[in-house]
């Protein structure tokens, strides 16, 4: 599994058709703020949502600080997704840009 820096993600989001950003935080965490165009799939619901995800796109997962997003990447890799990255430092690091 690979991490992606907040700066790298911000650059990739200039062409959002090539990337899927998944917010694995809980609903109450997302209420305050989130990365624009991200898809909300709480970590506990990720496995049941796998059929809705496109395996050929880059998938970046994020949570509050980068721990749950790493778990999400592991789940995706176990289910045949190849191009997955976790946002280093989570939403807190992205928001600090």
Would residue 73 show up in a list of annotated catalytic residues for this protein?
A: no
Catalytic site residue from 9, 43, 60, 63: 63
Query: What six digits make up the tokens of 95?
Result: 């928001």
- CB neighbour list of residue 22: distance below 8 Å, 6 or more residues apart: 38, 39, 40, 41, 46, 53, 59, 60, 61, 62, 72
Catalytic residue annotation: 63
């Amino acid at each position: 599994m690979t991490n992606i820096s907040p700066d790298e993600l911000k650059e990739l989001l200039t062409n959002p058709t090539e990337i899927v950003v998944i917010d694995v935080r809980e609903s109450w965490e997302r209420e305050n703020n989130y990365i624009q165009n991200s898809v909300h799939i709480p970590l506990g619901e990720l496995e049941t949502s796998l059929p809705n995800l496109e395996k050929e796109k880059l998938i970046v997962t994020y949570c509050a600080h980068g721990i749950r997003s790493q778990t999400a990447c592991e789940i995706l890799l176990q289910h045949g997704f190849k191009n997955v990255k976790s946002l280093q430092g989570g939403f807190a690091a992205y928001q600090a840009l």
